[in-house]
Structure 1
Amino acid sequence: MVEESPDSVVPAAKATEKEAKPAAPNATAPATDTAAPVEKTVPPKKEKPPAVEAKPFTEFIQQDYLPALTQALVDKGVTDLQVALEQSKIAVKGFETSPACSQVIGRWNDGKRQFNIYFFEDNIQGKRAISCVDRGSKSSTIESFLIDERKITLDLLVSGLVLRLNSQKWLMRN
């Protein structure tokens, strides 16, 4: 019997690795693609202007919301409309001791009809409420305004009020 020494034994795995290795590529082989790479120029992205809703609260209300709201209500047939942004107490029974807040107040029909939109945080994304008054009486109800919306936009604020006033039957009859 022949004795096997560790030097004379070649493990099977090492033998198959040597057989499985492909030949090294020839470093002097000519390149098949002779064309120079083409550089693509990417035009710079145009930056979007900031949304009007990103303006400071008072600036947004004065410059964007009030004119858009006035136009929407005039388009619905409202005449002698007066809208303004005021800082005052909530004119609803039971809220006399509440602190003052920013309000968009609209009056028409010789002051007989009035709506108030309350912005409690001077932020259009913050808490909002609305009240409506007819014939110059004092409002007894305050309702939340656009509370289910994730992001408040100019169009949403305008259309939300128009829909609310229409449901009050102040803009169109059935």
Structure 2
Amino acid sequence: MEDKPFEEFITQHYLPGLTETLGKVGIHDLDLKFEQAKLPIAGLGDSECWQVIGRWQNGQRQFHVIFAKDSIQGPKYFCYADNGAQPSTLESFMIDERKVNLDLLLLYTVQRLNGQKWLVRN
């Protein structure tokens, strides 16, 4: 599955898997997009890269999983924003993983969102 072309893997496996996984923790109004776009943080340049952009709670919460190359094995970044604001910090994402697969990509995305206390209340 991970050997499929990048765009096919993301659209046919990662997006549906993420929708299902987040649905299990109560996020049912998730809007996911996969597109080439400029980085969502001002001052980081005008170049475009592939991004998975997720929004829910009427757009009040958003996150971006950013792929620097057209590959799940390449460098990845994460940013988020709450209350309808724009993201302000770009973080490295999954930098310690040598071989990325669907399960790890889903796990790390959910863990990162949970780190914001967006999924499970303490």
Q: TM-score, normalised by structure 1?
A: 0.69
Residue identity in the other structure for 1:132 = Y
Answer 1 or 2: which has greater strand percent: 2
- 1:135, distance to aligned residue in structure 2 (A): 1.1
Q: Deviations over 1:31-74 (max 9, x none)?
A: xxxxxxxxxxxxxxxxxxxxx00000000000000000100000
Question: Separation in 2 of the partners of 1:141 and 1:98?
Answer: 16
Flag as ranges the 4+ runs of structure 1 deviating above 6 A. Answer: none
How far residue 138 of structure 1 moved from its aligned partner, in angstroms, is 1.3
Within the alignment, does 1:57 sit opposite 2:57 as a pair?
A: no
What's 1:78 paired with?
27
Structure 2 Cα separation of the partners of residues 98 and 84 of structure 1: 20
Please say which structure displays the higher CA radius of gyration: 1
Number of aligned positions between the proteins: 122
The residue correspondences of 1:59-138 to structure 2 (distance < 5 A) are 59-95=8-44, 97-138=45-86
Tell me, which stretches of 5 or more residues in structure 2 are unaligned? none
- Residue type of the alignment partner of 2:56: W
Name the residue aligned to 2:116: 168
What's the secondary structure of 1:104's corresponding residue? Answer: strand
Is contact 1:93–1:138 with CA below 8 Å preserved after alignment?
no
Q: Give, in whole Å, the separation in 1 of the partners of 2:24 and 2:84.
A: 24
Q: Is the 8 A contact 1:79 1:109 kept in 2?
A: no
The answer to whether 1:150 aligns with 2:113 is: no
Which whole-Å CA distance do the structure 1 matches of 2:56 and 2:73 have between them?
A: 27
Bigger shift: 134-143 or 123-132?
134-143
